Structure 1
Amino acid sequence: MTKENMINENMLSDNLNQTSQIEETSDQPIIYILDTNILLHEPFAFLSFKEHDVVVPMTVLEELDSIKDRRKDVSRDARVAIRALEDTLRDASPEQVLTGVKLPQNDDQHPSGCLAIINDYALEKTAHTLSFNENDNRIINAALHIQEKTPNKKIVLVTKDINMRLKAKGAGLAHVEDYRTDQLIDDIQFLTKGYHQFEGDFWQHINAVDSETEGRNTTHYIAKETIPFTYINEYLLDEGDNFAGKVTGWDDDKVSILDLGRDRLLAKSAWGINAKNIYQGMAMDALLDPTIDLVILTGPAGSGKTLLALATALEQVIERGLYDKIIVTRSTPEIAESIGFLPGTEEEKMAPWLAAITDSLEVLHQQDESMHGSLNYIMDKANIQFKSVNFMRGRSIQNALVLLDECQNLTAAQLKTIITRCGEGTKLVCSGNLAQIDSNYLTAVTSGLTYIVERFKNFPGSATVNLNGVVRSRLASFAEENL
């Protein structure tokens, strides 16, 4: 069978021209060729390219098939991607699959492109193609073939594999991109820290203010243009060490700021732990606030994320009785996703991956006469449960405080799965360090942690705090700054 039969170039011209006549939003029609890791990263990614056409090489389908039966979390994404492709192409004939099947439209105003499958195994080897011995090369060759046959179209290979992007460029492919639909910022430096620090004294920037006091709480109302880019529950500081407040709301004209005071923030304590700096004070304020359902803690190793989360959790469960239990979970490295090889119950299997939690428990009770006895008593009293993040699907968690550690290694879809498990009366604390990402498919800007920081920054029930400063030890502080 010739390559002309395997991919009908009419798909690459007629269908795209038809789409462009409906609504052409770019100067040049685009055909996107997807790599396997795109569909593993987001199984429905082929629906994200609006009016443009999408091509899935046969090699991608074979890689998905080989992955779907592995005993890893990624196998689920492979199965979901296969089912999604099958649902789209179910009623199409073989000829239609080759020429392109119209993708479902999101709305009447925005037309959709077509989805086609190309048999990259049947393409003829030329002097300009790479060796067919590797799967990546076959996908690149398919993109080169389409680029050669349709010079009037912009052909884009989409992959999260950096080395594959380099190979494709070296082979002569004009356009190679990362998948950025779930990337909300271009650089991690633009990620909101959860607080804004003013130069000098805060009140020097304010021309007029209305204040009202209720009990110990004072709320200031200032002109919105004074701090136009603020977010709900964002903390406000100044360099003069005089003012600390939190944005509680706004309208077209004014912003309401709850005056917290630096001294009050620095005096925050829970379960014997006191704030060591203003950043920990802000974090403890958010963690102890019963009106906040989601607290996101970011920052370097040793900044106190896990210790503060655990101390405030014990305070709220045992002392205040706000929650019935503490559920501790975290992402596990891919090599350890199958915890069945470890002995014991689920909690015992998870213990090696949650050593940071047990270390923090020991710190909180190191002065006790019998630390081991105290730990057992506290774990029973607070009903602390260690759970695997892989088994969170399908659950409905009620009246619990959930600690999700190391979530920089989770994708946006995985974090959505966990967040949607939280029912009434449940508080979720997500913590992570974007400088310590272990996943092969994630970067600091595409991490699920970055995604939820940006998505939830205007949600009234959430707060974000970047813990700036290492307090673990002077050794850890020096290493963080110099290594």
Structure 2
Amino acid sequence: MSKIYVLDTNVLLQDPYSIFSFEENEVIIPAVVLEEVDSKKRYMDEIGRNARQVARMIDGLRETGKLHEGITLENGGEIRIELNHRSFHQLQEIFIEKTNDNRILAVAKNLSLEEETKENGKQVILVSKDALVRVKADAIGLLSEDFLSDRVVENDHIYTGYINVFIDTELLNRFYEKGELLLSDIANHPFYPNQFILLKDALGSSSSAIGMVDQNAHKVKKLVFDHDHIWGIKPRNVQQTMAVELLLRNDLPLVTLIGKAGTGKTLLALAAGLMQTEDFGDYKKLLVARPIVPVGKDLGFLPGEKQEKLRPWMQPIYDNLEYLFNAKKPGELEAILAGMGSIEVEALTYIRGRSIPDQYIIIDEAQNLTKHEVKTILTRVGEGSKIVLMGDPEQIDHPYLDAYNNGLTYVVERFKDQKIAGHVKLVKGERSGIAQLAADIL
């Protein structure tokens, strides 16, 4: 039996194409949702872009029929703008204020009551990204769901970039001697290009080795780089060793790093970028950027010039640079950066629309980017550039994103089988004992 799905505004603003995700069921958009979408269409950010896209799509559907009567979609479903069922009588004793959320709940509830009077009435389900709206729906006996079609992965199945494989001692010795093994000799399941393999002795000895799958996914080979130190930074655990390998490889123009706070993502990326820009000369410039989510991507209300405005939000980057340059005096780091001229720290707002060739690009806090935003950034990467996207999918400030539908997770999953990309998940905090403990238990 087909169902009726009533969409909350946040579903459309998160994914304008969500109306096509409900197969051969009926999709209801309450009139109040159109009002909310209309109020967002002037925003100059991702939400505004999605609001305008929703408006264009619905306007296009209008040409095929009357929206208030229902229009059949190509997937066999139906979409209808609900102008009736706006009575607040059923909810006025529970929710006194006629907020937009409560008006949407009223539409869904009235539809549900109407369907219950029919012999073959349909099941009515409210779809919302807002947890509290779903809680309210449950309180009034209304079925509700989160919108999950925009998720790249389910639950905790985000690609880690490495795998443990137990092999015979003979194979492990052969890997030490030759520096490579055929993947068919160690396991019969498929591997991804540039995936790391922790080779361990099947007999339980302490012997082990780190290998990396070649780009054709035929062999596992020893790591290329000597990881004694990069700009005075030495990897402290096996995942950091993997990260350094990816960060220093010129044949991998796209690298993604995920991990909790204190796992060393930013410090390692900056050290690798400085080494390849200043020491090796592989790139002309090191460009570091991060999204400015806390101020709504608008710096206009802060006093001072652009760099003065940026400083509070870029401070985590500057903290790591001060450590790498051993700059302890006030103004010392600024003098170093001004003298070098090859390091640029920017807000992500200011690199939109640019073409960026021959640069080592680091995008911090990439988990706060939407799929569209991360696509916009990656399509700006010029010839000869390398881009590093990093962040913690568990720490998201964006109102419509979560650990499973953000731009960083999207890139990790889409590029895991591509030859030009590498990924690793950092798991152990190295900032300090208290930082690691806080990340684990708080």
Where on the TM-score scale, by shorter chain, does this alignment land: which range?
A: 0.7 to 0.9
2:341 equivalent to 1:341: no
2:135 to 142, 146, 166: 166
Report if the CA contact (8 A) 2:85-2:106 is conserved.
Answer: no
Match of 2:214 among 248, 256, 275: 248
Pair 129,169 (structure 1): closer, same or farther in 2 beyond 3 Å: farther
Question: Cα distance, 1:135 vs. partner?
Answer: 1.1
AA aligned to 2:109 is L
SS of aligned partner of 1:183: coil
Shift of 1:394: 3.0
1:114 aligns with 2:78: yes
Q: Secondary structure at the match of 2:300?
A: helix
Cα distance change, pair 385–53 in 1 and its aligned pair in 2 (3 A): farther
What TM-score do you get using the length of structure 1 for normalisation?
0.81
- The alpha-carbon distance between structure 1 residues 70 and 367, as it changes in their structure 2 partners (threshold 3 A), is closer
SS of the residue 1:99 aligns to: coil
One-letter amino acid matched to 1:449: L
Over 3 Å counting, the alpha-carbon distance change for 1:268 and 1:319 in structure 2 is: same
Question: Which letter maps to 2:211?
Answer: G
**Distance between the aligned counterparts of 1:140 and 1:361, measured in 2?**
50
Q: CA deviation at 1:154?
A: 3.2
Shift of 1:124: 6.4
Indicate yes or no: 2:67 matched with 1:102: no
* Residue 230 (structure 1) shift: 2.5
Structure 1 counterpart SS, 2:183 = strand
Instruction: Look up the match of 1:152.
Output: 121
Q: Deviations over 1:342-384 (max 9, x none)?
A: 234444422211111111110011179x784565334553532
The answer for the alignment partner of 1:409 in structure 2 is 368
Distance change in 2, residues 1:120/1:472 (3 Å): farther
Q: Return the match for 2:103 from 135, 138, 159.
A: 138
TM-score (norm 2): 0.87
Q: How does 1:277-288 map to 2 (within 5 A)?
A: 277-288=237-248
Aligned residue for 2:110, secondary structure, equals: helix
Q: Deviations over 1:81-114 (max 9, x none)?
A: 222322332x255xx11122233x4xxxxx3422
Aligned to 1:435: 394
Paired letter, 2:245: D
Matched, 1:260 2:229: no
1:182-223 per-residue CA deviation (whole Å, 9 max, x = no partner) reads: 2132222x2221111235xx444959989996xxxx432131
Q: C-alpha deviations, 1:288-335, integer Å up to 9, x for none?
A: 101112111111211111011111111111222222222221122243
AA in 2 matched with 1:256: K
SS of match in other structure, 1:181? coil
CA separation of 1:30 and 1:457: change in aligned 2, threshold 3 A: same
Inter-CA distance 447–30: structure 2 relative to 1 (3 Å threshold): same
- Say whether 1:233 aligns with 2:194: yes
Q: Residue 421 of structure 1: which of 362, 370, 380 is its match?
A: 380
Measure how far apart 1:56 and its partner are: 1.1
Task: State the distance in 1 between where 2:222 and 2:356 align.
Answer: 34
Give the direction of change, closer, same or farther, for the CA distance of 1:99–1:443 in structure 2 (3 Å limit): same
Higher alpha-carbon deviation: 302-311 or 348-357: 348-357
Cα distance between partner residues in 1 of 2:76 and 2:294:
36
Contact 1:130–1:141 (Cα < 8 Å) also in 2: no
Question: Hey, what does 1:18 align to over in structure 2?
Answer: none
**For residue 469 of structure 1, what is the aligned residue in structure 2?**
428
Q: Distance in 1 between matches of 2:15 and 2:185?
A: 39
Structure 2 counterpart of 1:193: 160
The within-5 A match list for 1:345-424 is 345-366=305-326, 372-373=331-332, 375-378=334-337, 381=340, 383-424=342-383
Distance 2:420 2:112 in 1: 49
Give distance in 1, aligned partners of 2:355 and 2:410.
23
Q: 1:210 to 1:472 in 2, by over 3 A?
A: closer
Q: For 2:80, give the aligned amino acid.
A: A
Q: After superposition, where does 1:259-338 map in structure 2 within 5 Å?
A: 259-260=222-223, 267-338=227-298
Structure 2 residue 23 is the aligned partner of structure 1 residue 57: no
Deviation at 1:420, TM superposition (A): 2.0
CA distance in structure 2 between the aligned counterparts of 1:198 and 1:314, rounded to whole angstroms: 34
Structure 2 Cα separation of the partners of residues 212 and 99 of structure 1: 73
Instruction: Deviation per CA, 1:359-416: give whole Å up to 9, x if none.
Output: 1110011179x78456533455353223332344433222222211112222222222
Mapped partners of 2:427, 2:207: distance in 1: 16
Distance 1:299 1:206, change over 3 A: same
CA distance in 2, matches of 1:312, 1:469: 19
Give the conservation status (yes or no) of the 8 Å contact 2:394–2:402: no
The structure-2 alpha-carbon separation of the partners of 1:476 and 1:32, relative to structure 1 and needing over 3 Å to count, comes to same
Rounded to whole Å, the distance in 1 between the matches of 2:57 and 2:228 is 50
Contact conserved, 2:15 with 2:150, CA < 8 A, in 1?
A: no
For 1:284, what is the secondary structure of its paired residue?
helix
Retained in 1: the 8 A contact 2:181–2:221?
yes
Gaps of 5+ in 2: 201-205
Q: Distance in 1 between matches of 2:77 and 2:294?
A: 35
Check conservation: 2:196, 2:213, Cα contact below 8 A.
yes
- Cα separation, 1, equivalents of 2:186 and 2:170: 11
Contact 1:268 1:285 in 2 (8 A): no
Structure 2 letter corresponding to 1:436: Q
Gaps of 5+ in 1: 1-27, 106-110
1:63-102 equivalences in 2 (<5 Å): 63-70=36-43, 73-89=46-62, 91-92=63-64, 96-102=66-72
The superposition leaves residues 416-459 of structure 1 with CA deviations (integer Å, 9 ceiling, x where unpaired) of 22222222222111111233222333322233222222222111
